[in-house]
Structure 1
Amino acid sequence: MPKIKFTFTDNYQRGMLLVENRVKYAQRLDTAPLSSALKRYVVERSYLSDDENYYCFELFDSRLERRLEFRSVDELLSYNAQVGDFELFIDKFTVVPLHHTLIVGQTGSGKTYGVYSFLLQMLSKPVQYHLYLADPKGSSLSILGDMIAPDCTAEDVDDIVTLLREFNDEMDKRKADLKAKLATKLEASYLDFGFNPYVFVFDEYASFQSVVQAMDKKHRDEVNKLISQIVLQGRQLGFFLFVVMQKSDSTSLPTMIRDNLPLKIVLGNAEQQTYVTAFGTGVEIPSRDFRKGEGVYTFPRIANTPKLCAFSYLDFDINAAFRAKRGLCNNPRSSKGA
């Protein structure tokens, strides 16, 4: 028999199972459904140890509640204060660095609440986040934008394209500022020099793309160039794109753009093709009945295969919470922040 080791953390809510690697067990361990033999524990992801002598299986207690529940804005702010200035939390076990993000899910899956959670966190950080909000359907995000960033919110497609141009203009200015500083510290980023982040949140991206595809080639190429520049150059400069949509197939979201959105979240009980377009082929999705706001995500170094996540339950007046943040999103047109 191979050597077997168990370790547990968080009062036995999470654990690690190590199974010694043996030639005769290798293929069987790659596909073994170990969760069925672990009582209440479930395998979240598996991989080989660095020396390839052990198979590592990350476990969690299936009875635990991942979701955070906030009864007031103050509770959310208190929890957010424990997270880094350039990090965002999703649930009790998931904190991710600020980066380009894709959020996918059908109507009713909890996408909107996920965006609310992220935006409230951004507006509550001690550093200032410059927010740009695009909502081609003119729904809740545009209403929210009118509260916190009216000069950086757009619904009409032409206005959204103008907003993208302005976002890229700010990015070009940052590029010039950062280039002057990189002479003192190569391979540094906006974080190393105290620059504030810029975030462009794009709701219902497929609706926008359907209108863009009907434009002439010159305008289509311009839009694709503007978005491509953000995802390809933005990370080092501190400019990030958040794309929210129901499906992320290549007809709605170009493959190059999707592949350069490192944080990918799929909420709700999605179709298999939705998981394939978001995460790629051959990826195993945990078999669960996802409630609203629950789903899976991937992010380099944290979750190379889909891991479970659950956005917070916000049990307070969300409109009042955002109204209280009115004016905290600095408008670069009228006041030049860092």
Structure 2
Amino acid sequence: MKKTYRMIRGILSYSIIVTAILTWLVYTTVYTKIKQQPLFSTLPTVSSNIFLMIALSVFIINIISWCYRNKIWYGLSFSLNHYNMILNIRKQIKQARFETINNFESKYVHIPKIIVQFDDNGKRETGFIKIRNSIKFDKQLEQVRLDGALKRCIIERRFLSQDRNWYIFEFYRIDLFTQENFHSKSDYVEWSSKETDAYHLRLDNRSTIPLHHIGLSGQTGSGKTFFLEMLCIQILNKKIEHTLYIIDPKKADLFHIFKETRATVVDRNKSLETISLFHSKMIERQTALQSFFLNNHNKTYKDANLPAIILLVDEFGSLRESWKLLSKKERDETESKLADIAFIGRQLGCFLWISTQQLNAQTLPTSIREQLVIKIVLGASDEQTYRTLFSSSVEIPLLDLKAGQGLISCPSIATVDHPKMVNIPYCNFLDT
């Protein structure tokens, strides 16, 4: 069996320890008795403790090396966890023959350097693994899956470091991917207000997103409506009174839940009127902010302490289908206004949230879809949906996603090529 250089060093050091201890035993028993014989009385006298000192010194050096390598200053539990993770990864890589073979001695192998770092050394719930890149294993590192080498941990994303010398694998503990459960609206509002401000939304225990354009996709039963309801609750309970327009073409849950709130809620019959109203308010804000932007370059509506204005369109595919009865001029004008909102709304704080089962070219014009900076797919979906909403090169995890679980891409969280997993809380007070 081929051995790594670390194994050779370990065998050598422990061989020295065992040899020294055996020598001490032989010296204190056999050698001492032999020296007492008249014929061997001239044999040199050596302190037996020297052999124990050799064994103890090598043992202490090994312990110090292990403690330093596994960062004992964070605690014994941390060190054991760190050691086991790296050991399992090294074993899996070695068993998969993912190694550099020494040309001069083929029975020895060299495994790439592996570094494990946790985001929080106390909780150790998330972190990343760095594996040293090389020309020989560049492609293998790009395709390797490390999940099998990690106990109760899942690799979420993988990418190259900026200097391309390391492959980085982000991971999280499976315990973290459990849904929060809220029995009351007040509990949910209190939870959502932690780690956020008036211009951010909390999605789960790991992800907080800024107010921005959102594209939401998912099949029936994926939890889209629940998700939108929770986002609306957050918006309506912020310290700043954001303006919320909701178009629910089916006149379903969103319509009835938020009809009696300060949000403006309409069905498909008033959808065109609402989109035009929203567009006109955006143009008014753009005019009002001209002088502010002129004196404050690269600033946004937040710097002017203005609230956001949000247009949420649920089941956009169904709504757009109903527009086929309109004249082409009316359809083009409406889509032109939506495109305006998507293109110039970010700096002004006028955001478009669109939800539908499939966000493809037939459902939503590509020019608008590409401006939806935050992209979310909930539940199990088909490959085409992922590649259309995120990118053609998106890395799709082979996971059985339940309702409320999905993938998200957002500039502050994850790229469209490597979306991050999201786990929306379950608010059973909305299910009554």
Q: TM-score, normalised by structure 1?
A: 0.90
Measure the CA separation in 1 of the matches of 2:128 and 2:206.
15
Per-residue Cα deviation, 1:42-91 (whole angstroms, up to 9, x for no partner) = 21001111222211110111233343222222222222222121111111
Q: Match for 1:55 among 155, 167, 182?
A: 167
Measure the CA separation in 1 of the matches of 2:430 and 2:400.
28
2:141 pairs with 1:29: yes
Q: State the 1:206 CA deviation.
A: 0.4
Counterpart AA for 2:400: D
Name the structure with the higher strand share: 1
2:115 pairs with 1:2: no
1:143 is aligned to 256
CA RMSD for the aligned pairs? Answer: 1.5
1:87 is aligned to 200
2:190 pairs with 1:70: no
Contact kept? 2:268, 2:319, Cα under 8 Å: no
Measure the CA separation in 2 of the matches of 1:52 and 1:166.
49
1:335 is aligned to none
Measure the CA separation in 1 of the matches of 2:114 and 2:430.
50
Measure the CA separation in 2 of the matches of 1:145 and 1:219.
28
Q: State the 1:141 CA deviation.
A: 1.4
Distance 1:30 1:317, change over 3 A: closer
2:323 pairs with 1:212: yes
1:244 is aligned to 355
Measure the CA separation in 2 of the matches of 1:65 and 1:47.
22
Distance 1:135 1:317, change over 3 A: closer
2:411 is aligned to 300
2:116 pairs with 1:116: no
Kindly report which structure 2 residues correspond to 1:190-201, keeping only aligned pairs within 5 A, or say none.
Answer: 190-201=301-312
Kindly report which structure 2 residues correspond to 1:157-168, keeping only aligned pairs within 5 A, or say none.
Answer: 157=269, 159-168=270-279
Measure the CA separation in 2 of the matches of 1:59 and 1:89.
20
Contact kept? 2:147, 2:155, Cα under 8 Å: yes
Measure the CA separation in 2 of the matches of 1:16 and 1:247.
33
Contact kept? 2:118, 2:125, Cα under 8 Å: yes
Distance 1:192 1:31, change over 3 A: same
Counterpart AA for 1:125: K
- Runs of 4+ off more than 6 Å: none
Q: Secondary structure at the match of 1:220?
A: helix
Q: Secondary structure at the match of 2:232?
A: helix
* Greater gyration radius: 2
Q: State the 1:255 CA deviation.
A: 0.9
Counterpart AA for 1:153: V
Gaps of 5+ in 1: 320-338
Contact kept? 2:159, 2:169, Cα under 8 Å: yes
Q: Percent identity?
A: 32
2:206 pairs with 1:96: no
Q: Secondary structure at the match of 1:222?
A: helix
1:328 is aligned to none
Number of residue-to-residue matches in the alignment: 317
Whose relative contact order is higher, 1 or 2, with alpha carbons under 8 Å and at least 6 apart? Answer: 1
Q: State the 1:259 CA deviation.
A: 0.7
Q: Match for 1:185 among 290, 296, 299?
A: 296
Q: State the 1:111 CA deviation.
A: 0.4
Counterpart AA for 1:2: P
Counterpart AA for 1:87: H
After the TM superposition, which of the residue ranges 213-222 and 241-250 deviates more from structure 2?
213-222
Measure the CA separation in 2 of the matches of 1:261 and 1:213.
24
Measure the CA separation in 2 of the matches of 1:130 and 1:193.
16
After the TM superposition, which of the residue ranges 198-207 and 265-274 deviates more from structure 2?
265-274
Q: Match for 1:172 among 283, 293, 299?
A: 283
Contact kept? 2:224, 2:378, Cα under 8 Å: yes
Q: Match for 1:273 among 369, 384, 394?
A: 384
Q: TM-score, normalised by structure 2?
A: 0.71
Measure the CA separation in 2 of the matches of 1:47 and 1:65.
22
After the TM superposition, which of the residue ranges 93-102 and 297-306 deviates more from structure 2?
297-306
Name the structure with the higher helix share: 2
